[in-house]
A and B are shown apart, each in its own frame.
Chain A
Amino acid sequence: MTMLPEEPSAKKLGLVIDLDICVGCHACVVNCKEWNTGSEGAPLSDVNAYGAQQTGAWLNRIHTFEVKTDSVAQVVHFPKSCLHCTDAPCVTVCPTGASYKRVDDGIVLVNEDHCIGCGLCAWACPYGAREMDPVEQVMKKCTLCVDRIYNENLPEEDRVPACVRTCPTGARAFGDLGDPESDVSQSVRDRGGFDLLPEQETSPVNKYLPPREKRHLVASDRSQPDSQTELQSPDVNGFWGWVDSTLTKLG
């Protein structure tokens, strides 16, 4: 049924993504694909994976943005997967009932056996969180690793989404955003977590934490060479010094 639950669920499972510490390594992207390609639905296919013009379905992707602040330009790596919106427009447009939002925990899922591959849900999602599988021709999206988080066959510490488990910097946190006392809700409060595209009125469950101000990079500091600048042009002697100067001469 593609009607949204009448009352938004009290439990709102989701992710909080910390843009301050994501280093853009794509580990979560790869582990997401790895886990979900062997999951219950059809495999997440790739077409022409080793040739030119490869294509494939992914449930999580990392964009990298440059933000021009007053003083410096800052690089922000930006992971993006389904935000499990409370008012999910992708669900209500689905003509078949394949897309649905779970009443108990708010996870948005696709029943692949009912999906006709019309693609309308991907048109309705503002975030680009749904992709058509190029081989199976059904809609794919982040499942919040529903087959991990409740999976009692897995050791306790593995009962979190694959992307969360694999992130080497801990930039992705999983939890109940419907519970104001949960760690994730706490961090959203403390760090000023925000919604993406709030004007689309989807009320996403997933939140993003802003990058912290990079104090050592403010422009006024640049006039004085600090220890960082010195590190970048070390005085090298000997063999490596010769290599360095020769390469410099070669341009």
Chain B
Amino acid sequence: MRPAWSIIVFTSLSGLGFGLLFWFGLGFVVINELIDVILFTVLGVMAVSIGLMSSLLHLGHPKRAWRALSQWRSSWLSREGVCAVATILCTFIYSGVWYIYGERPSALGLFIAILSLLTVWTTAMIYASLRTVLRWYHPLTPWVYLALSVCGGLITLNAWEQIIVGQSSLIEITTIGLVIAFGVKSIWWKRAGSQQSESTPETATGLGSLGQVDLLMSPHTEENWLQHEMGFVVARRHVYRLSQIAVALTFILPLALLWSGISWLIMLIPIVHFAGILIERWLFFAEAKHVVTLFYGERH
């Protein structure tokens, strides 16, 4: 699948943002003065909104995007939209009440935490529910998104504490978060690398009973939209190198920096981690093969 930047930024940034709102809702965020509530809300909502804006860029008709909230009964994309809007609205109310009355409405907070996770889940299910892309079509896919989102939130909270109070109380739990996320993603990678597609040019054309099927002539001389969108091929050696870099930036380096004890290095972790997530997401798309390419001469 073509790794479009608008979608990569969307899933990465809104994933991070909802991770932040999750911990925010649970009351995990260290607040010195009440104005910090507003500051953190801006931080979280900004991440989420820029992510969502980016996804709008991907649309042919962004002005009609509101229609996408209507089909939540069947469409994960629609559910994602509904959950995202609900989370943002609830967060505004939550922070407003907290700021005005000086007390955290914890029940609403818990609701926001759940909504945030739900939103990340629905984002992942857009991909995990596509039977046409075997690499994504797996129950583990949403857990990867969830783990990375929650972990990204923790990492950013660490930096936040460093800035607000000059030290962090979350080193241990962030370590656990990173290890779990690394574990889930590794299992996902291992599974994705070993699975065998049951679809072939023979099952695609239904001509397998006659013999081996190969494409002789494409329907047209130039690449069409389908091939552009779904026929993205990435060189094997690049994949290998990039996944190494992704692992280093997303997990290994943050772990090392976390335990360095140097304050400004800890503040730097979210940036390193996020760069890793961007590459991880790029690979998520670039490595995925769509079944339609079987009609265009590929064999998976």
Contacts and interface: CB of A to CB of B under 8 A. Distances in A.
Interface string B42-68: 000000000000000011111011011
Nearest to B74: A92
Chain B interface bracket (under 10, 10 to 19, 20 to 34, 35 or more) = 35 or more
Given A95-B68, A96-B70, A210-B207, A118 B58 contact: yes
A132 B58 CA distance: 12
B220 interface: yes
B206 A194 contact: yes
Given A95-B70, A117-B60, A123 B130 contact: yes
Contacts of B201: 65
Interface in A166-203: 194-201
Contact of B219 (A63, A66, A75): A63
A68 B133 CA distance: 28
A66 B75 contact: no
A116 B207 contact: no
Nearest to B64: A116
Interface string B236-279: 00000000000000000000000000000000000000000000
A4 B58 CA distance: 26
Contacts of A132: 60, 225, 229
Interface in A45-79: 52-58, 61-70, 74-76, 78
Contacts of A131: 224-226
Nearest to A29: B219
Interface stretch (B163-171, B182-190, B289-297): B289-297
A125 B216 CA distance: 23
Give the 3 A-B CB pairs with smallest separation, nearest first. A117-B60, A137-B60, A95-B78
Interface of A: 1-4, 19, 24, 29, 52-58, 61-70, 74-76, 78, 80, 89, 91-98, 114-120, 122-128, 131-132, 134, 136-138, 194-201, 208, 210-211
Interface of B: 1, 58-62, 64-65, 67-71, 73-78, 81, 126, 129-133, 198-199, 201, 203-207, 209-220, 222-226, 228-230, 290-292, 295-296
